[in-house]
Amino acid sequence: MNFLEERIQKDGIVKEGNVLKVDSFLNHQMDITLFEKMGEEFKRRFAGKKFDKILTIEASGIGIACIVARHFGVPVVFAKKTKSVNIDGEMYIAEVESFTHKCRNQVIVSKKFISEGEHILIIDDFLANGCALQGLISIVKEAGASVDGIGIAIEKGFQVGGRMIRNLGYHLESLAIVDAMDAETGSITFREQ
Amino acid sequence: MNFLEERIQKDGIVKEGNVLKVDSFLNHQMDITLFEKMGEEFKRRFAGKKFDKILTIEASGIGIACIVARHFGVPVVFAKKTKSVNIDGEMYIAEVESFTHKCRNQVIVSKKFISEGEHILIIDDFLANGCALQGLISIVKEAGASVDGIGIAIEKGFQVGGRMIRNLGYHLESLAIVDAMDAETGSITFREQ
């Protein structure tokens, strides 16, 4: 097991309905030392790639993306889920609906912050059905930029998002892939990587 | 002028209605190198203080808080503005209404992540009327912890939040205090610190 799998094993809590709670270190309370290790690991996995910018989505992607950005020396842009008074001017807006109809989201980025020809690394905390991720990818494409890497902390390998994204040819790296969870026993099975 | 005031002068845009747009480096696109300098400066301004945790609020406080946290070696907790499916168990919920009735917010933190006796540093990107900040302070007090410092990137000195918080005796440090702005000329006047 790698450092993130160990941490999930130790502090993650499996709940009914395929819910994995990691709020004590990842997405409510955030362990910055752990995020630093994640940054180092993404740097290793995307070795040799040159990115211009990291793109993430509010709220829980932001902390990880900012620490990861230190390891690549690039700025971070975070997509918003609702149109706020603080975004004006031209915007990219992706309307994303999942095949399960369980999520329907707007993903919004100001056109100023993704430019044609840029090489983008997308970072997020979770990948399950891939709803938010699809919106981010569609915005990068619309901007004429390219998604050269996707870095995820925890992928739910038993849901469809990761497979679909890999089938489309994207370079997706998930630091931990959960293939099965059992709420009764609390056991978590990670995919060998 | 300090480094942040210089950056605001250079890249900030003054709009009608006392709006200061800093979305190219602070709260949509984020300049991580600038955030590092902010972390160093907060460390200097809160020299000798020992914090257990940084508390911030989604979404635009998170990036700054995570980079600042590296300089203090502590974890970050971010408050949520709406009750999400990912928070269960006991929660602190502050209902905050501003005296101008321009903001009414819920600020939510899981009780697991702020404990009695802890020393808390609150970090946020903006302070204007102080609506969100009041909610954060009230939650820390309810938890029996203490707000030993408040670090803000940009304070709108012509609005009431900063004065009120200082009057209450809190140690508030704002890296840039804007005392006046003119949308017509684009000029920004900073308070001498």
For A73-106, the pLDDT digits (tens) are 999 999 998 766 556 679 999 988 765 556 677 8
Smallest CA–CA distance, residue A9 to chain B, in Å, is 18
From B114's Cα to the closest Cα of chain A, the distance in A is 10
Once rounded to an integer, what is the mean pLDDT over residues B1-10?
97
Nearest-by-CA chain B residue for A85 = B19
pLDDT for B99? 60
Q: How far is CA A61 from CA A89, A123, B57, B159, B183, in A?
A: 24, 7, 14, 31, 34
The reported pLDDT for the residue numbered B82 is 78
pLDDT of residue B86: 58
Question: B70 — contact with chain A (CB < 8 Å)?
Answer: yes
Task: Give the DSSP H or E segment for A70.
Answer: helix A60-72
**CA of A63 vs chain B CAs: smallest distance (Å):** 5
Name every residue whose Cβ is closer than 8 Å to that of residue B53 and which is 6 or more positions away in sequence. Answer: B74, B75, B76, B77, B113, B114, B118, B119, B120, B121
Give the pair of three-digit tokens for residue A81: 């889920």
pLDDT band at A27 (very low <50, low <70, confident <90, very high): very high
Give the tens place of pLDDT for each residue, B30-67: 999 999 999 999 999 999 999 999 999 999 999 999 99
Longest CA pairwise span in chain A (Å): 51
Residues of A in contact with B80 (CB under 8 A): 28, 59
What is residue B141's predicted lDDT score, i.e. its pLDDT?
97
- Chain B CB within 8 Å of residue A76 CB: yes
| Contact between chains at A28 and B76 (C-beta distance less than 8 A) | no
pTM confidence score: 0.95
Which residues of chain B have a CB within 8 Å of the CB of A87? Answer: 23, 28
Residue type, B178: V
Contact B28 A87 (CB under 8 A): yes
Angle in degrees, 0-180, between the axes of helices A60-72 and B60-72, rounded to the nearest 10: 60
Across the interface, do B113 and A28 touch by the CB < 8 Å criterion?
A: yes
Q: Which residues contact B85 (CB under 8 A, 6 or more apart)?
A: A19
Question: pLDDT of A139-172, one tens digit each?
Answer: 999 999 999 999 999 999 999 999 999 999 999 9
- A103–B contact, CB cutoff 8 A: no
Q: What is the mean pLDDT of residues A37-63?
A: 97
Mutate to test the interface with A, among B18, B26, B30, B37 (most CBs of A within 10 A): B30
Cis peptide before A128 (omega within 30 of 0): no
pLDDT of residue B98: 63
B67 touches chain A (CB under 8 A): yes
Could you tell me which chain A residue has the CA closest to the CA of B17? A85
* Contact across the interface for B75 and A110, Cβ inside 8 Å: no
| Region B118-145 average pLDDT | 96
Residue-level pLDDT at A82? 78
The number of CA neighbours under 13 Å toward the Cβ of A70 is: 23
Four-point Cα dihedral B62, B149, B180, B105, nearest 10: 50
Q: Which two structure tokens, joined as six digits, stand for B162?
A: 């900063």
Predicted local distance difference test score (pLDDT) of residue A4: 98
Residues whose CB falls within 8 Å of the CB of residue A33, separated by 6 or more in sequence, listed in order: none
Q: Which residues of chain B have a CB within 8 Å of the CB of A58?
A: 58-59
The Cα of A120 is separated from the nearest Cα of chain B by a number of Å equal to 13
Residues of chain B found within 8 Å of residue A65, distances taken between Cβ atoms = 63
CB distance A35–B66 less than 8 Å?
yes
Identify the sign of the CA torsion A76, A32, B106, A133. positive
**Helix pair angle (B32-45, B60-72), 10° resolution:** 60
Q: How far is residue B54 from each of residues A68, B77, B149, measured CA to CA in Å? A: 19, 6, 10
The pLDDT of residue A104? 74
Q: Which two tokens stand for residue A166?
A: 């890999």
Contact A77 B30 (CB under 8 A): yes
- List, as ranges, residues 8-37 from A with C-beta within 8 Å of B: 19, 21, 23-25, 27-32, 35-36
The helix (H) or strand (E) run that includes residue A110 is strand A104-110
Token representation of residue A150: 């996707």
Q: Which two tokens stand for residue B59?
A: 């979404």
pLDDT of B95 reads 87
Q: What is the model's pLDDT at position A51?
A: 98
pLDDT tens, position by position, A99-132: 555 667 789 999 999 999 999 999 999 999 998 9
Q: How confident is the model at residue B100 (pLDDT cuts 50, 70, 90)?
A: low
Task: Annotate A29-49 with three-state secondary structure.
Answer: EECHHHHHHHHHHHHHHCCCC
